[in-house]
Structure 1
Amino acid sequence: MAASFGDEPHLWDGWGDAATNGPAMTFLRLAHTNAMDKPEGYDQKAMAQIAQRYAHEADTVNATRSGNLTDSTVILILSESFSDPTRVPGVSFSEDPMPKIRAIKGATTSGYMLSTGYGGGTANMEYQALTGLAMANYNPSLTIAYQQLVPQERWVATFNQMWNAKHGDTASQATHTFMDNMYFRARNYKKFGFSQFWTLNGEHKITGCSPIDRAWYVSDQCTYQQVLSRLNHGSDPSQFQQVVTMQNHMPYNDWYDNNQFKQADTSQALTDAEHADVQTYAKGVQHTDDATAELLTQLDQVDHPVTVIFYGDHLPGIYPTAYANPDNVLGLHESDYFIWSNAASPSHTAKLPDDAARYTSSNYFMAQAAQHMNAKVSPYLAFLTAMHAQIPAMSIPAASGHSDGKPVYLNAAGEQVAPKDLTPEAQRMLRDYRLIQYDLSVGKHYLKDTSFLTAR
């Protein structure tokens, strides 16, 4: 109905939405979202029982682990639109656009991340990775948590706050090589506990970065140099860095010189527009491949432990031919990820087995990182570790061409499992998850006053 009056939502940009549709419409859109219905049985007693249950689970996990998450620097890199184009049906090249990251994935914890978006949805992947909460548990009316939920929250629990608690408020920093107003990041990051947010236009301004050739967005290579320049050294070096790149953001308009993928494109049954897009995109992927490998080489020279969580937030929306087949939709929501530790880390050679790593969603990243690092966990991370074992990946209904309007759940082989076919244990844990998520986001925050979020 609103569309009939000319309403054109710009949920990724609150200022742009207000300019286009008027501040009143933007206010109504963002302030009147029913994010989540109260789960049956939600009360203080139920949450105390959950806190106790997963405190015992954390004790069991921690009896076999020797490290501490906050003794390492963790760099969480959201690589804009990064994915392996050769996994898309009909797309192929005679030259691999990402040989270095492919080799990295083969040597460390890695796999595929089930996204909530195709061609968009960046902020939701960030939100899941930083909070451990899943968009699949929210009502469908909540489309972007950064815009519709976080601004209304009095308190938000994010994983970086563990570093702040141990090393001080300056232990968390964020870098985004674009504008600070997108998805209300500047405001939200302050609420999350990031002391500095480096952008092209904000209070902490990035300078000296430029795109590659004729591209519109800052290169990943320069983004990574920004990250390296802000690594802590000395007696208390551990920190948490949140990084959001922009290099491979749409559009893909023949940006790059010497693009060998024009000749290496052996894709079949694509339109001319698709060929042009995938050729430019593949060259961008190669630039990311080179820059990421160089970043890890430089991090190997750092004399304190550093762990990198690298992931593509979603595939670019440049595959209409493949997307037209419902059988392809799920795969078009699967991007690449890896978790890697530098030479100074005890987990430098760690690689989790396929059943614990091949498929995931970003809400599980910190639990997986703790497992990869052999690090002790909080009851919350113990819960997420157990939840990941039961349901390795989850997303919203749109992530599958065959979801019937229900959340998408994958097993360890990447196969979709209907909610009714989940094991009794998985269904029980999902009920716990919804109670936890409701309490941490829109409920009474009973868990805040327990040890649920504290590493044991």
Structure 2
Amino acid sequence: METDPKSPAKSTSPSNQNDDSRDDKLSLPFAFGLAAFMSSKPIAALTKVASFLYSLLKKRPRCPYTLYALVMALVDSAAVLFLQWSMYKEPTYADPDAIDTTTKLLNSVSGQLTKFVSQMWMEQKYIWLLNFLALGMVYLVLVFVLNRFWVATAIFSIVTSVFAVANSIKVDLRNEPIIPSDLGFFSSGNGGEIMSFIPKNSRPLVNGTITMLIWLTIICLALQLIDGRRCVISFHWRRPFRNVKTIIGNCTRIIAAALSIFLLWSFTWNLGVNDSWSYNWAKSLGDNPALWSTAYDATNNGPAMNFLRLAHAKIMDKPENYNEATMAALAKRYKKSAKATNESRANNLTDNTVIMILSESFSDPTRVPGVELTEDPMPNIRAIKDITTSGLMLSPAIGGGTANIEHQALTGLSLALFDDSMQSPYQELVPHQKEPYTFNQIWNSKYGKNGSVAFHPYYKDMYLRDSNYKKFKFGKLYTLDSSPAITHQDHIDNSLYVSDKAAYQNVLDALNNSDHSQFIQLVTMQNHAPYDDYYANNQFREADVSRLADDEKWAIDSYIKGINLTDQATEDFLNQLNSMDKPITVIFYGDHLPGIYTTAAANTNNAIALHETDYFIWSNQVSASAGIKLDQQTSNYTSSNYFMALAAEYMNAKISPYLEMLTQTQTQIPAISRLVSSNNSWGDGSATYLDANGNRIKRKDLSQKAKQLLDDYRLVQYDMTKGKGYLNDYDFFAVQ
């Protein structure tokens, strides 16, 4: 048989046969090995798991809404407790053995958390529930906007956990919780530096939280894949009108998202507004706003409530004629007027060191209706008032609100011109301002950062003074917990607070250590509430012949003794200033009356009397303004927003257009304030105007010139706080 030469011949050589048999021998063990490997127990188990997971993914059972509700409740509860935990610290004891176990347990972080929850049935204060509901609103917004329950849960958990950890670190470092203005740190592009602020002892907490959140996120994403209910509410972007069911689902989702957003917005927007629905609702559950201390507010009312409370504050309504052209014309008008005023003034403000003293709760108790004394508690200050510019200051509040009066004195802005919902500019306005203007900056412009210094013999976190004073450009704020701390911290007898004598000594040190003029701000603490039997040999127990209840008299007599000690310390302080060979001017004022005159406060006819404190402007004997007493029509009544304008007039010092406006306004409206209801520190109040004789006058009865000045004042205040800052471009704050 012939073979076709074109077709390959099949080899039958021994070598070919050996190759085929070798391949068969190699493939058979591999096949048996692979089969054995696949049938091994671990692989079989993995195969079953993979098959099970595939079947789950294929079937994707829908999680019931009841499960969503249960998870929301658990996660929300955990968030409330984690946030509240961030406000607490384990207490330390000088002698731990002297403290019983029960007390230690109650004061521990666990004990404080337990009390935070249990006060619902122990004290009928539902703060835990309030925070649960407030955070629940945030949770709902995420759920309905994202429409993915497990993704929303992961994001909510991450946000609240990060907030709690950051809050704990800030409380440790500065005794302040996170507030909305802190978010500006990230928006300013400094977020990358955040790790540098974390102390070493907080790194384990941060690392542990990160690990927990990674696992939580993995679990939530896995659940999102497994959950057959891909959307919380059925929704279809494509073909949204394909059938009735789709239309209903789409509408439901949109309505749910819109309502949840509106609810959270409305609650937050109105939380700081007295008598609004959210304010009243929160109060009914035990919320008690503490606008003097964010730390106190967050500890007692919850960090979530504190944050939301400060998230929105309505500053002012925009004046109808507010625009650049209006502000340019206004600046030009007051520039011209200030130039004319300065032609007759020979001095500069910076020629003198100006010491602005806010004397805590200082006022003349003999002016209070119903209080009768046989001894004058303040003879020295009364004598000082007789020989220098002095009078009565209209205070917005009674028993509190110190920083509001302080803010007015440092800025020239009036609380009466802000919206009524603006309760505390130090908490609600200044943290959001980039470069707020304050009068100490006049000295800074000449002497640099050493041109102004501040002292407060208490803690720097009160009213956020630490951060606010930095914005005001004070070179340094010395407090009990500053670094370095305020030097002189002496107390009198059993008093809780640093004495005025010690506070004054800190100012004297600053004067002796400076070779140029300064602006010095001092806020004292000696006469702060409470008023107990702190002082030995209180002669006013016998000198008080008032017909008042014993409890009321007891507090009043203790307070009066403190006033008497302030009177003595102030005279000694001024005598020491008189011995210095440098011109010094002192602006001294009490911020408000104490809230202890309950009998007088019960009579609404006493409202004005209980809002009037004492002030004087005094210069030492080497000053050009020593012994000057301004016309009583100008000085008898005023408010703290006018102090620097009055001081400039008293010192015959040249002024800026801004001070010119304040001077003109004070001439027409000597005192202006928003009076809070009698015996109250915070809340709604009505704008109150006093004439030169201290009589209340309605706005409609103001002269046409006074109304025009008030309109200008409102425009200027709006431009400085909420507006576009047009006046900065027209040298409105520079001396002409």
Query: What range describes the TM-score normalised by the shorter chain of this pair?
Result: over 0.9
Q: TM-score when scaled to structure 2? A: 0.60
Could you say which residue in structure 2 is the equivalent of 1:221?
A: 501
Residues 206-355 of structure 1 aligned to structure 2 (within 5 Å): 206-231=486-511, 236-268=515-547, 270-355=548-633
Structure 1 pair 295/324, CA: closer, same or farther in 2 (3 Å)?
same
Could you say which residue in structure 2 is the equivalent of 1:43?
A: 323
Distance 2:672 2:541 in 1: 36
Could you say which residue in structure 2 is the equivalent of 1:93?
A: 373
Q: Answer 1 or 2: which has greater strand percent.
A: 1
- 1:234-254 per-position Cα deviation (integer Å, ceiling 9, x unaligned): 6x5100001000000011111
Could you say which residue in structure 2 is the equivalent of 1:163?
A: 443
1:180 has 2:460 as partner: yes
Q: Could you tell me which amino acid in structure 2 is paired with residue 58 of structure 1?
A: A
- 1:334-392 per-position Cα deviation (integer Å, ceiling 9, x unaligned): 00000000111000111111001000000000000000000000000011000000000
Distance 1:154 1:87 in 2: 42
**1:33 corresponds to which of 313, 332, 338:** 313
Report deviation, 1:63: 1.4
- 1:317-342 per-position Cα deviation (integer Å, ceiling 9, x unaligned): 11010011111011100000000001
- 1:255-283 per-position Cα deviation (integer Å, ceiling 9, x unaligned): 11011101111113x11111101111111
- Over the matched positions of the two proteins, sequence identity in percent amounts to 55
Report deviation, 1:7: 2.1
1:55 has 2:335 as partner: yes
My pick for the range that moved more, 44-53 or 361-370, is 44-53
My pick for the range that moved more, 8-17 or 364-373, is 8-17
Say which SS state the counterpart of residue 731 (structure 2) adopts. Answer: coil
Distance 2:517 2:313 in 1: 38
Distance 1:412 1:207 in 2: 42
Answer whether contact 1:232 1:238 (CA < 8 A) is retained: no
1:386 has 2:654 as partner: no
Report deviation, 1:400: 7.3
**1:72 corresponds to which of 333, 345, 352:** 352
Answer whether contact 1:116 1:399 (CA < 8 A) is retained: no
Distance 1:352 1:385 in 2: 13
Could you say which residue in structure 1 is the equivalent of 2:218?
A: none
Say which SS state the counterpart of residue 697 (structure 2) adopts. Answer: coil
Distance 2:506 2:697 in 1: 42
1:83 has 2:373 as partner: no
Q: Could you tell me which amino acid in structure 2 is paired with residue 24 of structure 1?
A: A
Distance 1:399 1:292 in 2: 31
Residues 343-382 of structure 1 aligned to structure 2 (within 5 Å): 343-382=621-660
- 1:157-176 per-position Cα deviation (integer Å, ceiling 9, x unaligned): 00000100011111110000
Structure 1 pair 257/397, CA: closer, same or farther in 2 (3 Å)?
closer
Distance 1:399 1:437 in 2: 24
Residues 115-130 of structure 1 aligned to structure 2 (within 5 Å): 115-130=395-410
Report deviation, 1:100: 0.1
**1:7 corresponds to which of 287, 292, 296:** 287
Answer whether contact 1:78 1:312 (CA < 8 A) is retained: yes
Distance 1:373 1:317 in 2: 35
Could you say which residue in structure 2 is the equivalent of 1:104?
A: 384
Answer whether contact 1:66 1:376 (CA < 8 A) is retained: yes
Distance 1:263 1:15 in 2: 40
- 1:271-329 per-position Cα deviation (integer Å, ceiling 9, x unaligned): 11111011111110110000000010000111111000000000001101001111101
- Structure 2: give runs of 5+ residues left out of the alignment: 1-280
Q: Could you tell me which amino acid in structure 1 is paired with residue 519 of structure 2?
A: F
Could you say which residue in structure 2 is the equivalent of 1:145?
A: 425
Report deviation, 1:20: 2.1
Distance 2:284 2:638 in 1: 40
Could you say which residue in structure 2 is the equivalent of 1:22?
A: 302
Distance 1:380 1:42 in 2: 17
Answer whether contact 2:395 2:613 (CA < 8 A) is retained: yes
My pick for the range that moved more, 441-450 or 185-194, is 441-450
Report deviation, 1:232: 5.2
Answer whether contact 2:588 2:615 (CA < 8 A) is retained: yes
User: Aligned Cα RMSD in Å?
Assistant: 1.4
Q: TM-score when scaled to structure 1? A: 0.97
Say which SS state the counterpart of residue 617 (structure 2) adopts. Answer: strand
Answer whether contact 2:677 2:685 (CA < 8 A) is retained: no
Which of the pair has the greater relative contact order for Cα pairs under 8 Å at 6+ separation?
1
Structure 1 pair 405/149, CA: closer, same or farther in 2 (3 Å)?
closer
Could you say which residue in structure 2 is the equivalent of 1:396?
A: 674
Say which SS state the counterpart of residue 36 (structure 1) adopts. Answer: coil
1:423 has 2:729 as partner: no
Report deviation, 1:8: 2.1
Report deviation, 1:5: 3.2
Say which SS state the counterpart of residue 67 (structure 1) adopts. Answer: coil
Say which SS state the counterpart of residue 396 (structure 1) adopts. Answer: strand
Report deviation, 1:398: 2.4
Report deviation, 1:35: 1.2
Report deviation, 1:19: 2.0
Could you say which residue in structure 1 is the equivalent of 2:734?
A: 454
Structure 1 pair 397/289, CA: closer, same or farther in 2 (3 Å)?
closer
Report deviation, 1:204: 3.0
Say which SS state the counterpart of residue 337 (structure 1) adopts. Answer: strand
Answer whether contact 1:196 1:204 (CA < 8 A) is retained: no
Residues 189-208 of structure 1 aligned to structure 2 (within 5 Å): 189-208=469-488
Answer whether contact 2:411 2:641 (CA < 8 A) is retained: yes
Say which SS state the counterpart of residue 375 (structure 1) adopts. Answer: coil
- Structure 1: give runs of 5+ residues left out of the alignment: none
Report deviation, 1:233: 5.7
1:443 has 2:443 as partner: no
Distance 1:177 1:405 in 2: 30
Say which SS state the counterpart of residue 34 (structure 1) adopts. Answer: coil
Distance 2:521 2:677 in 1: 25
Structure 1 pair 39/204, CA: closer, same or farther in 2 (3 Å)?
farther
- 1:405-424 per-position Cα deviation (integer Å, ceiling 9, x unaligned): 64100000000000110001
Say which SS state the counterpart of residue 305 (structure 2) adopts. Answer: helix
Report deviation, 1:210: 2.1
Distance 1:210 1:233 in 2: 21
Distance 1:77 1:116 in 2: 18
Say which SS state the counterpart of residue 395 (structure 1) adopts. Answer: strand
Report deviation, 1:207: 3.6
My pick for the range that moved more, 93-102 or 202-211, is 202-211
Q: Could you tell me which amino acid in structure 1 is paired with residue 463 of structure 2?
A: Y
